[in-house]
Amino acid sequence: MGLGELSYQAYVKAILTGAIQKAGRDSTIQGATARSAEIDEKVMGMVRTVAKNGTFSSTRKSYSQFGQVAPEPFNDGNGNGFRDVGECFSDVNANGTWDMDPGAAGQGGASDVTVYTVTVTYLRLFPVAQWFGGGRVQSLSATTILKNQPYAAQTTVIATNICA
């Protein structure tokens, strides 16, 4: 039963990964922002073929370039690995505060980089995990990062250095 459960989990993950990669490619074309719910529904439909009673959640975050899919860079003056008040940072999203994730919600625009994540939660096939203290519910996530097509001029933000 344990091997069956692990195999099923790998199968659901493979279907989810394939579905989100296809959806990610579909999301990068012009006009896809208005169709994001339809694209999400396609992912859910593909995964529902194997995880029939699954529940889904999805997120999209956009960035001006691939290098911004990370916390905003800062000068770690005291060497503790964390940004403390007063340490200078590059404000890549122009909001005036240091951000652990400087992305904007949504698909973004032309030439933006989009991080698209879908999570499916479903009931396990067998109770093996419960015998070892696990739950009856399994959650799996898949993420893809793609660059939107350059169908128009990209809106860019020039990073400023802030010391506050």
3-class secondary structure for 40-92?
Answer: HHHHHHHHHCCCCCCEEEEEEEEECCHHHCCCCCECCCCCCCCCCCCCEEEEC
Q: Of all residues in the chain, what percent carry a pLDDT higher than 70?
A: 99
What's the predicted TM-score (pTM) here?
A: 0.81
Whats the size of the chain, residue-wise?
A: 164
Question: What does DSSP assign to residue 105?
Answer: E
Residue 99 phi/psi, 5-degree rounding, is -125, 135
Residues 145, 62: Cα–Cα separation, whole Å: 10
Tens digits of residue pLDDT in 57-101:
999 999 988 989 999 999 999 999 999 999 999 998 889 999 999
Whole-number mean pLDDT of the chain?
A: 90
Cβ contact 150:29 at 8 Å: no
Residue 146 phi/psi, 5-degree rounding, is -140, 160
